[in-house]
Every structure is written in C-alpha cells, then in structure tokens.
Amino acid sequence: MARALINVPAKAKRGEIVEVKVLISHPMETGFRMGPDGKFIQREILKSFACTYDGEAVFSADLHPAMSANPFFAFNMVASQSGVVTFSWTDDKDQTQVQTAKIDVE
C-alpha cells in the first residue's frame, strides 16, 4: 500500500482559507514501459483521489497514466468548523486507502 504525507494545518481561524497538501508515494506505472524481458510492465496507477471535510467533498481528481510517480496534490479550502479531513485514493485493483487529519477551527 502507498505511504502518504499529509499537511493540514492543525489550527485555523473560522473562515480562513487554508492550504492542504498531500503526497502519495506510488510508482504510477503507466503500462507502456517495457521491462528487461521485453514484455510490458503491467499498469498500476492510482485511478482516483478525493478529499472530504466533515463529510462534504472539497476536492476530487481522476488520475491517468501520464501523471507522474508520487502524485502531489495541493489545494485550498475554507476552514468552516473543527472536524476531520478525510483523504482517499483508489488504485487499479480497486483497493481504496483512507487517511485522515484533524483541523481545529477557532
């Protein structure tokens, strides 16, 4: 399973626009590369990524073979209330991984 680095500010003021950053360690194997045996290396990419904030979707993306290894996402959201930010991503085998971070809104 992929390892992820997540940066959500631990604290924010109500209404503040905060930056969220996620880096998922993943080879994003395109399926177009040939291995030393002359056969194509099987495609293995993350297909989708989504972020919810207190259950509400704030960001989502479909990923494709042209995207780099170790995809990095950075986006902004409005800190409306204290809660849990949930990140999930799904690979080619339809396995979904979930990670969460807490944000404390004053």
Binding positions for another protein, rule: CB under 8 A: 5-7, 21, 23, 25, 69-70, 72, 74
Strands 83-91 and 72-78: unpaired
Which of 74/84 has CB closer to another protein?
Answer: 74
Residue 69 or 84 having the CB closest to another protein: 69
Residue 55 CB, shortest distance to another protein, in Å, is 25
Burial code (b: 16+ CB inside 10 Å, e: under 16) for 33-65 equals eeeeeeeeeeeebbeebbbbbeeeebbebebee
Q: How near is the Cβ of 6 to another protein at its closest, in Å?
A: 7
Name the minimum Å distance from CB 85 to another protein: 15
The residues, any chain, with a CB within 8 Å of residue 36's CB and separated by 6 or more, are: none
| Least distance to another protein, CB of residue 44, Å | 16
Of residues 14 and 102, the one with the C-beta less far from another protein: 102
Quote the tokens at residue 26.
């993943």
Q: Decide the pairing of beta strands 72-78 and 96-105.
A: unpaired
C-beta closer to another protein: residue 8 or 79: 8
